[in-house]
Amino acid sequence: MNYRMISSTVGKLLMIEALFMALPLFISFYYDEGLSAALVYAAVMALLLIIGAVLSFFKPEHKRIFAKEGFVIVALSWILVALFGALPFYFSRAIPSFTDAFFETVSGLTTTGASILTDIEALPKSLLFWRSFTHWIGGMGVVVFVLALLPQKDTRSMHIMRAEVPGPIVGKLLSKTTATARILYLLYTAITLLETFILYIGKVPLFDSITLAFSTAGTGGFAIKNISVAAYDSLYVEIVLSLFMIIFGINFNLFYLILVRQVKRVLKSEELWVYLSIIAVSTVTIALNILPAVNSFGAALRDAGFTVSSIISTTGFVTADFNTWPTFSKCIIVALMLVGSMAGSTGGGLKIARIVILFKSGFREIRRAIHPGTVKCIKLDGAVVDKETVSTVNSYFTIYMVIVAVSTILVSFNNLDFTSTVSSVITCINNVGPGLNAVGPTSNFSSLTDFSKIVLTIDMLIGRLEIFPMVILFSPAAWKKNS
């Protein structure tokens, strides 16, 4: 285990978080929130810079990063960034409980959007900004940002990127990992700015436009209004957000292919067509199902389209209380929570690519049972998926289901109803945000015990980092010097 390399990378990341903290500090001055607010951010920045400098002081003898170092760096970084990111909420007493502050921050960074706040609009503008900005930071990945910003001479830094970027298959856009990370962040930033501009010209206030864009880009769903996007009561806003939620749920590699004029490869993406088909079918079926309860098919389509885009992209914005919808529609919503968006996007869930591979793997086994001598390869986008990837996907799904089951049992001690208990776990581990019943779109997670919040906080981290980094971080074998 390359301890010095781990320490150095984490230290640099904490110093970068200190720079991020300068933005809400500026917002606190701009909106004249007083000296006490500024001192909170200044204190956290100083703490981050000091600890980051200490961790970075001991230079690594070599910069080789193997898979286990990559997993440990990513998992450790996310936990520490969340711990320090919670301090502005806690020090300002906006969230008096550190457990709640940590839950809210992890929810932001993992782009989950589950909240314990009962009055969001009571927060000062600087904290509202920081809360939404955590979505943007976590959307593309906090450690990928380090790769984009700092030169990494060793090509094995790909192990870091593989540990943080969601999906069963992670590849480079260019030969160098650093160049790939920079391209991803440039695309991410450009689309975020575009969304901000489109919202602003639609007469959405600039501060609202920026925070909405942050939350959409990270597919997180933190809004600055108590009733989320419903507060704007604007078809324009809903259409813009729906489109960008879908866009941010698409694999960013496809956007790069469009830039380099390889549109044919984009159109051949099997995962993309499955993703868009699920959105279309789910929207129409839910609209038809809720039609008797609304005034017109147009209104039903509006509510269904926005909700489907929000849930499958795992953003979690709300315009309609889907808790009141028929059971059929709620079942589709839970299914969308599980499926999630495309691999290589900022969205959560199991990922479309894994679902496709799981289905094809299952059908292959059925064929083998009928015709034992048949040799059938699994293909995705016309290319053969290697056995190792198929095996990893199957293992991932098995571990995922075990974690969901164990978490549900642990949260059940909270004595919520069964639907609330199960949906709270599913929505957190898939980084969606709202669940059903007690944790539904018009409710929040404030009523849960600290124990349940800790379990769900761990689930959010497990879901965003896709299980293995968190498991390896707490595995004693990974920390052995010669392991």
Please write the tens of the pLDDT for every residue from 239-262. 999 999 999 999 988 998 898 888
Across residues 400-428, what is the average pLDDT? 96
Across residues 377-391, what is the average pLDDT? 84
Specify the pLDDT at position 236: 97
* Alpha helices in 321-446, H assignment, sequence order: 327-339, 352-370, 387-411, 418-429
Buried b (16+ CB within 10 A) or exposed e, 342-372: bbbbbbbbbbbbbbbbbebbeebeeeeeeee
Q: What counts of helices (H) and strands (E) characterise the chain?
A: 21, 2
Judge whether residue 168 has pLDDT over 70: no
**Local confidence band at 440 (pLDDT 50, 70, 90 cut-offs):** very high
Q: In sequence order, which residues have a C-beta less than 8 Å from that of residue 391 and are 6 or more positions away?
A: none
Query: What tokens appear for 129 in the block?
Result: 């900004």
pLDDT tens, residue by residue, 58-71: 776 666 666 777 78
Across residues 331-352, what is the average pLDDT? 93
Q: Which residues pair with 384 in a beta bridge?
A: 379
Tell me the average pLDDT of the chain: 89
pTM of the model: 0.92
Judge whether residue 157 has pLDDT over 80: no
Share of the chain above pLDDT 70, in %: 89
DSSP string, 46-74: HHHHHHHHHHHHS--S-----HHHHHHHH
Q: In sequence order, which residues have a C-beta less than 8 Å from that of residue 84 and are 6 or more positions away?
A: 14, 17, 44, 47, 48
Judge whether residue 154 has pLDDT over 50: no
Q: How many Cβ atoms sit within 10 Å of the Cβ of residue 19?
A: 12
Specify the pLDDT at position 155: 46
CA distance 161 to 173: 12
Across residues 410-439, what is the average pLDDT? 96
